[in-house]
Amino acid sequence: MFFNDFIGMLLKAGSRQNMTNKQFLEKEIYYWLNSPERRLQLTGAAYYRQDQAIEHKQRTVIGENGTVTTVHNLPNNRMTDNRYAFLVDQKANYLLAKPVDARADNEAAQDMVNDIFGPRFRRTLRAVGKDALNCGISYLFPYVDSTGELAFKRFHGYEILPFWKDQDHTALDAFLRMYPQEVYEGQTKKIVQRVEWYTLDGVQKFIYEAGSLKPESTDIFPYVVINSGEGEPEEAKTFNWARIPLIPFKLNSEEIPLIKRVKSLQDALNVMYSGYMDNMQEDPRNAILVLHNYDGQNMAEFRRNLATYGGVKVRDPGGVDVLAVPVNSENYQAIINLLKRAIIENGRGLDTKDDRLTAGSPNMMNIRSMYTDLDLDADDMELEFQASMADLMWFVNTFNSALGRPVTDVQFIFNRDTMVNESEVINDCRASVGIISQETIIANHPWVKDSKKELEQVQQEQAQQMAAMDPYGGNEGWSKNNGTHG
């Protein structure tokens, strides 16, 4: 295999230092934990959870000798307007909020497909979509659950160290998963870093501590255990997949997370909100102070005492004149609006407060033009997800084949949650009668959720209407002898 040859080459190159497979993994983990790619993935996940750079904001003044000094008696607002999380939710819901149609190539397999890709899977898939937006890539892991059925577990992008076969990252040779877990040692709770090493041979488990891997067991665990008959251990059937059991779901081919595009803008927006609130509250730096006959302290000491105590001492006939520096809220508002707009544009989102939406009844041309940027990311994401779903079906068919169940090809259709002008779309559907098929018209009607079920209902109603209009009850009253009604 490529991966074994690769590790063998590395171990051979490091043979002078007696580099083992375990040492190789420890080195790779160290570089991965400190890599800019993983730091960016963690940043995206943290920003979505509202843990942003503004939380570390400090207030500073010019202290003695012109040095910047942190002060703690000034207003220090830390406000977050999380436009980034809005973008993530908007993009994930746009592509994945509606059910993904999974159409099997035969009716016998359709019920099975509907069970696999039901509401539980759709919920997991939307979580994978959000994780892909935050990290650039997310993963699904196929496993057999307690009921003996195939299921899929989400792995966060920042948990996985993949070893790719090719430069385009289309196939895997192996992967490593690291995740924290709370455990008790006696009566003390602590967090340990668990490491799972996945190859075609199975899974090995370790504890990562102080830069070293400590095996939890010498066993290599199989991927799939299927109980047959009574479920006794001797009757259990175990096997490993012929592929590495990890399905990557990428945001784009470069695996660049959304936070890369908008982090600086999101930080600037938070700074503007927080700075405006600081300036609206008491702050001696809002004024330029003019001192008359003032002595005893230099200017640095004066500014520090003023910032700290809010007052100064002067000698008669001395005094302090104040040149106020007013806070112009319009300037803040203008910059905040520009930053919000920039976040939407750079993040390729939809501005729901666009004038084309809020002014009257927008036509479909305006709506489609507004969705152009959002569709750019959705097209990339859908292309990657379609390829991932095809890989996922390989595991479904392999598992079903092992149990003697039918295998099938499945077509996945992503239904985007697009805003429409319903009246205009309904009029277009009405005008299309007799030009295109009734099935196509029904599928595009804005009120229809299940086009197949709706078409069956329409056909049933039409048949009932035809039967009601026939006073002779169809062909039963037709004379076979003379071709006339009897």
Give per-residue pLDDT as tens, 84-135. Answer: 999 999 999 999 988 888 888 877 788 888 888 888 999 999 999 999 999 9
Q: What angle do CA 88, 77, 330 make, to 5 degrees?
A: 80
* pLDDT per residue as tens digits for the range 34-87: 999 999 999 999 999 999 999 999 988 887 777 888 888 788 999 999 999 999
pLDDT at 142: 95
| Interatomic CA distance for residues 443 and 234, integer angstroms | 52
* pLDDT per residue as tens digits for the range 290-328: 666 665 556 667 666 666 665 666 666 666 666 566 777
User: Which residues are paired to 412 by β-bridges?
Assistant: 102
Q: How many CB atoms lie within 10 A of CB 226?
A: 15
Tell whether the torsion through CA atoms of 348, 350, 356 and 359 is positive or negative: negative
pLDDT at 287: 59
| Interatomic CA distance for residues 208 and 77, integer angstroms | 39
N-term to C-term CA, the chain: 82
Q: Nearest-CA neighbor of 83 among 350, 284, 334?
A: 350
Residues contacting residue 221 through CB under 8 Å, at least 6 positions apart: 202, 203, 204, 205
Widest Cα–Cα separation across the chain: 131
| Interatomic CA distance for residues 51 and 42, integer angstroms | 11
Min mean pLDDT across 27-31, 433-437, 446-450 is at 446-450
